[in-house]
Amino acid sequence: MPVPDQLYEIRQEIKALKLVEKELVEVIKDAGPMMLGADYVAEVRRNEKKTLDTKALKDWYGEDEIQPFYKSSPYKAVTLKKITE
């Protein structure tokens, strides 16, 4: 199988697995602070995540004022497009 087709198949499998993972995580969260398995124990921890509200910064200071603080990082990405005949 050509490499791009393999990548597509793998991405589809990952997508399906992520859905299953999300469902399992919700079951564990709903069950309480801990769930015991045969080989693993799942612990539910509460955390707090802080994020920077860039929209509020832009509104308060203006786009030009915060421009020097943006960081640019080059990267490569692979996109897949279905070949149509």
pLDDT tens for 27-37 read 999 999 999 99
Residue 62 lies inside a defined structural domain of this protein: no
Decide if pLDDT at 39 tops 90.
yes
Domain limits at 9? 1-33
Q: What is the mean pLDDT of the chain?
A: 96
In the prediction, which pLDDT does 14 show? 98
With a CB cutoff of 8 Å and minimum separation 6, the contacts of 42 are: 28, 34, 35, 36
Q: Is residue 27 part of a domain?
A: yes
Q: Is 12 within a domain?
A: yes
Centre a 10 Å sphere on the Cβ of residue 28 and count the other Cβ atoms it contains.
Answer: 16
Residue 4, domain member (yes or no): yes
Judge whether 78 and 10 are in contact, CB under 8 Å.
no
According to the model, what pLDDT value does residue 85 have?
76
Tokens representing residue 29 in the block? 């969260």
- The answer to whether residue 42 is domain-embedded is no
Number of domains within the chain: 1
- Provide, rounded to the nearest whole percent, the portion of the chain with pLDDT above 70: 100
Q: pTM value? A: 0.76
